[in-house]
Structure 1
Amino acid sequence: SQAPSLRLLVQELQTTKMLQAQRIDRLEQLLEQAGPNGSDGGTVDGLLSRQTEELERRIAELEGQLSQQILRVIWGAAALLRASSLRWRWDSSVVMGLHSRYALTDGSLSSA
């Protein structure tokens, strides 16, 4: 299957973050309406926690996909430059940063 484009991943991440903020606002309103002694307070609080965790998990997943896609673009650009016999040097700090964040070997990608 084709990996989603960077633009689509960024759009989905932005939409998910906006949705998270809207849901949290709405659930906080419901919690305030229920009041401290309201019977629905615990239900709303539990729902708020579950939805927040679910959206945070999705955001982390999207951020991971976005990072992987960015690295694919970087490796693709490097391969094109090598193939066209252009001299292209990686800044050593960039390479070390990528190696510290991802297990990169022989141009392959795998999250560390």
Structure 2
Amino acid sequence: MEVFIGREEYPTMESVDTGSEIETIPEEIAIKASLTRRKLNMNLRGICGDTKYLVELSEHTLITMTTGEKKGIHLFIAKEAMHTILGKPFLADNNVQLGFSHKQGEIFGYPEQDGSKLC
């Protein structure tokens, strides 16, 4: 399962962080996707103690799921290169379930409109 920010595709399992309280993207993605942004001045400290400087916020940014469903999320934009992160707000708002299968490996369970899970 992937998400699209603008026209660019990003794999979800590389982006999910169940401990993150916010969604973040590097500035280059925000520029490439021509996102509407407002200035922000905030430092974010990671669990390893590293600090990232968040310079902008893109509010109610539409991302498109592989299913074609569009979601509005807030994206905090980092000046330095960093991973795109979909955190707790995204996971909770979308009823996403994460798991592990010996056959499939990591599983990202996203609810379909008919009630089934897309993994």
- Select the structure that is richer in strand: 2
Both proteins in one fold, TM over 0.5: no
Q: Which has the higher contact order (CA 8 A, sep 6+)?
A: 2
- Select the structure that is richer in helix: 1
TM-score range, shorter chain: under 0.3
